[in-house]
Amino acid sequence: MLPSTMQEFPLTISAVLRHGRTVYGDAECVTWTENGPRRATYATIADNAGRAAGALARLGVKSGDRVGTFMWNSQEHMEVYLAVPSMGAVVHTLNIRLFPEQLAYVINHGEDKVVFVDDSLVPLLAKVASDLASVECFVIVGDGDCDASLLGDRRVERYSDLIAKESPDFDWPEIDERQASAMCYTSGTTGNPKGVVYSHRSSFLHSFAATTPNALNLSERDRILMIVPMFHANAWGIPYAAFLCGASLVMPGRFLQAEPVTRMVKEERVTFAGAVPTIWADIYRYGEEHEIDLSTIRSIICGGSAVPRSLMENFEKKYGVRIIQAWGMTETSPLAAVAHPPRSVEIGSPAEMDWRARTGRVVGGVELRLVDDMGNALPWDNEAVGEIEVRGPWITGSYYRDPAPEKFDNGWLRTGDVGTVSPEGYVQITDRAKDVIKSGGEWISSVELENILMGHPDVVEASVIGVPDARWDERPLACVVRKNGGGADAAVLAAYLAEHVAKWQVPERWSFIDEVPKTSVGKFDKTVLSARHEKGELLIEQLD
C-alpha cells in the first residue's frame, strides 16, 4: 500500500464552529420572539458557545457526558448545539412532543447529566422531572417568568447567568472524529424510541453533503427559515450546514403558525425553508384567505412524509415557489435522497414535476439497494418492488444500547420503506413495510392513494390504512378530512380515485374525520387510526 501525503485532519463539529466564526462571523441568526426578531451574528454565537462550554465544564460535564436540550429553535439552542460536541460531550436533542413516559425513557436511557429547557417549556418537562434518574442540573433558557420549583429539588440555573460568568475563549480540546457528537431518538409509534448516536465525522461529512447542489444547495447568500425542529433528525442537518457555509438562520421559536411564519418570510427575506408537508399545507390554506408574500423564497425542502404532488403544483402556480421533496430518517442523519430533476429535463416543463414528485434521487455518499423478502438484490428498473436498504458514512450501523439485529442486514440498514428505484437512482417509496396493503394477493400503495386524494379540491388531509376483509384478506379504508363546506362524498372521491388508479385499488370503505392524527414530528399516525378502527370509533361509509 502506498501511503498518502495528506494531513490527518479531524472532521469535527469544533472545525465547523471555527470555520463559521472566522469566515462567516457576520452571518446572523435571527430568533423570532413575541416582541419581534432578536439578532446575533455567528461571531457572537461562537463566543457564547465558548461561554456555554465553560459553564458546562464548571457543572461537571466531561467528555462523553450527555447534555439534553428541551428547546424551541433559537439562538441559544444553536449555541448549545455547537458548544456541547465541541467540548467533547454529546448533545441530545429531546422531542418536546413526546408522551411523558417516552420523554422520561429517552432521557434516562441516554443518561443525560444536564438538561437545557426553554422557560416556556418548564411545565412540560416538569411532568417527568421526578422520574429522571441521571439529571443533576436543569438550565433554564430565557428571561420569562417560570416556576423553577416545578423541576423538583435538582440544581437549577439560568442560562444567561451561567454564561455571563464565563470567558468566550474556551480551551477547546482535540477530539477524535470517531467519537460521539450528538444523540437523537427515533419517533416510532410502536415500542420505545431507539437511540442513534452520530459521530463528529458523520456529522461533518453530512454537513458538507447538505450544502451541495444535488442536496440542499446552500450558500452564504441564503437566509434559511428553519421550521423543522432541531430535535427532528438533526433539523435535517441544516444547523451545522448553515454554520459551515455561512447561510444565515431564521429561528421561529414557538411561533410556528401560518401567520407568523409568512411574516418571517417577508420581513426577513427568507430564501430557503424546510418543514414537513403539513406545515406547508397549512400555509397554503392560510394564503387562500390572506395575502401573503413568498416571493423571496427560491426553494423549499420538504420531507418527513410523502409530499402531495398537488401541494407542489399549487405552490408553484400561485407563488412561483419550488418545493423539493427529500427522504431520510433519524438513522440516516437524515439526508439520503433529494428529488432534483435530472439534467435532461427542462426546468418548468411538465415532465419536471414527474421527477420532483418522486421520493428522491440518492445523494452522493449514500449507497442504496432494493431487496426482496429473501434478501436478494433487485434491479433498478422502476418496476421491481422491495425493501430499501442503505449504507454510508452518515448511516447508523446500530442503535444505542439496543442491538435490534432485525434492523440490519450485513452492514446495510433496513429502512422499513418499500418501493422502486429507477435506473437513474430515483427512489419511489410506495409504503412503509408495516403499512403496505395486500388485497387478494396484490399490493396497494396507501401513499399513492393519499397523494391523489389530497389533490381533490375538497380534501384537506387523507390517510389510508389497511383493514381486514373476509373476501380479500385486506382492503383500504380512506380516512378523509374535508374542507369546510366541501361537498365531495365517498362516491365522488371514489370516482376521482378511479380516474388515476386501477378500479380494484379504490376503497369501498370511507370515514370522514375532523383531523388526521399526527406523530410527534408531524407525520400521519396510522397506528392511531388503526386502533380507532379496531375499537369501532370510526364511522364507516360502505360503497357497493
Mean pLDDT of the chain: 94
pTM over 0.75: yes
Of 320, 331, 349, the closest CA to residue 415 belongs to 331
Q: How confident is the model at residue 75 (pLDDT cuts 50, 70, 90)?
A: very high
The partner residues of 182 in beta bridges, in order of sequence, read 91, 198
Q: So what's the pLDDT on residue 301?
A: 96
Task: For each of the domains in the chain, give its residue range(s) and CATH number, in order of start.
Answer: 39-199 (3.40.50.12780), 361-432 (2.30.38.10), 437-542 (3.30.300.30)
- Report the pLDDT averaged over residues 122-136: 97
Q: Alpha-carbon distance 535 to 532, whole Å?
A: 5
pLDDT in tens, 406-460: 999 999 999 999 999 999 999 999 888 777 787 877 778 888 899 899 999 999 9
Q: How confident is the model at residue 187 (pLDDT cuts 50, 70, 90)?
A: confident
Lowest-pLDDT range, 22-26, 193-197, 470-474? 470-474
Q: So what's the pLDDT on residue 71?
A: 98
Q: So what's the pLDDT on residue 291?
A: 97
Q: So what's the pLDDT on residue 274?
A: 96
- Report the pLDDT averaged over residues 160-189: 93
Q: How confident is the model at residue 189 (pLDDT cuts 50, 70, 90)?
A: low
Q: Alpha-carbon distance 288 to 282, whole Å?
A: 10
Q: So what's the pLDDT on residue 251?
A: 98
Q: Which segment, 205-219, 421-435, 460-474, is predicted with the most confidence on average?
A: 205-219
pLDDT of residue 188 exceeding 60, the answer is no
Q: So what's the pLDDT on residue 432?
A: 81
Within 34-87, strands assigned E span 36-41, 66-70
Three cell numbers, residue 73? 429553535
Q: Alpha-carbon distance 411 to 504, whole Å?
A: 39
- Report the pLDDT averaged over residues 77-84: 98
pLDDT of residue 183 exceeding 80, the answer is yes
The partner residues of 511 in beta bridges, in order of sequence, read 479
Q: Alpha-carbon distance 92 to 349, whole Å?
A: 43
pLDDT of residue 99 exceeding 90, the answer is no
pLDDT of residue 484 exceeding 90, the answer is no
Q: So what's the pLDDT on residue 190?
A: 58
Exposure string for 481-512, b = 16+ CB within 10 A, e = fewer: bbeeebebebeebbebbeeeeeeebbbbbbbb
Point out the residues that are catalytic: 186, 331, 438, 443
pLDDT in tens, 111-128: 999 999 999 999 999 999
pLDDT in tens, 354-367: 999 999 999 999 99
Q: Alpha-carbon distance 253 to 274, whole Å?
A: 14
Q: So what's the pLDDT on residue 311?
A: 94
